[in-house]
Amino acid sequence: MPKVITLDGAPDLRQVYVSAALKRRRLGDSLPDVRVARAGVAVDVPSLAAYARVCRLPLSGSLPLTYPHLLAFPLQMVLMAGDGFPLPLVGAVHVENRIEVDRPIAVEEPLDVDVWARDLRPHRRGTQVDLVSEVSTRGEVVWRGVSTYLARGAEQADAPGSEVPSTQALAAVRSGPQWRLRDDTGRAYAAVSGDWNPIHLHALTARPLGFPTAIAHGMYTYARVLGALGPRLPRQELTSRVWFRKPVRLPSTVGLRTAFSDGSTLSVLESVARGDEPATLTEHAVIANSWT
């Protein structure tokens, strides 16, 4: 039976990051048999409104598709910062995410959140792990998420990679919405999400961790994309996946292109570099949504 760590409230993730940064960690090759849980979580409406404002999401009587991740994320960080976790928390990069939504979650519903880790495995740039989250209400699981994090380390060229969908279907899609992301975008999202990872806050805190500038949170750009696609997506029985291919440096401009078909969408979010030369594109994320 796994050890269950039950939290009475949401932890202060700034303290979690500081503690993790000061801790000397012995890297290992196995995951602790631990779950982190919260029961009876009530959605704080002002916090939800602030999140929606930063991510440009509409407010309604049900939660945005990505919002349950915000409830699970602090539990993920507690697990990753805990004794026995084999990868460092500070500097971890979010490289992939999967969300399954069974039905809309009403804002007023009490929620139980459970998080655990699985599948520690090599990555061509280090080691990666999945953090699994389940959100339930009155015993019914209504939302599932799998967040894949990469701890950069020794290169392992032979490590198997995640299969990213081909974007060939997007060849005929020439344009879509563009967004200008300011240099304080990471700090604004951290304030509403609690994700104070230094790689997102400022160039001065990102450089020691291997990034020349601060980079946008993956779940921020993912939320922006799902918000833009919202009128075309169902509110239930939806599976959504995102593969973060390249970081979005802050500040920058990103553009979204999407191909629509029956029961699915395929999108690419690209960083657009503008200057005296014609615009060039760097693929940031591939986003696939499907439903029945």
- What is the DSSP track for 63-82? --TTHHHHHHHHHHHHHHHS
Tokens of 113: 């959140």
pLDDT of residue 23 exceeding 80? no
pLDDT value of position 280 = 55
How many percent of the chain have pLDDT more than 90?
64
Q: Which residue in this structure is represented by tokens 């690419």?
A: 268
The CATH number that domain 3-291 falls under is 3.10.129.10
Q: What are phi and psi of 230, to 5 degrees?
A: -45, -50
CB 131 within 8 A of CB 195: no
More confident residue, 22 or 106: 106
Instruction: Tell me what the mean pLDDT of segment 13-30 comes to.
Output: 74
pLDDT tens-digit map of 138-184: 999 999 999 999 987 777 777 777 788 888 888 889 889 999 999 99
pLDDT value of position 276 = 46
More confident residue, 253 or 292: 253
How many percent of the chain have pLDDT more than 70?
95
Walk across the sheet containing 252-261 and list its strands.
3-6, 34-41, 111-123, 126-137, 140-152, 93-101, 238-244, 280-291, 264-273, 252-261, 178-181
Record the pTM: 0.90
pLDDT value of position 274 = 59
CB 256 within 8 A of CB 230: no
Instruction: Tell me what the pLDDT averaged over the chain comes to.
Output: 90
CB 282 within 8 A of CB 244: no
Q: Which residue in this structure is represented by tokens 């979580």?
A: 41
* Widest distance between CA atoms in the chain: 61
Please give the Cα distance from 11 to 30 (Å, whole number).
25
Instruction: Tell me what the mean pLDDT of segment 85-114 comes to.
Output: 92
pLDDT of residue 278 exceeding 80? no
β pairing state of 3-6 and 34-41: parallel
pLDDT of residue 25 exceeding 70? no
Please give the Cα distance from 130 to 117 (Å, whole number).
6
Least confident of 49-58, 159-168, 207-216, 282-291: 159-168
CB 239 within 8 A of CB 291: yes
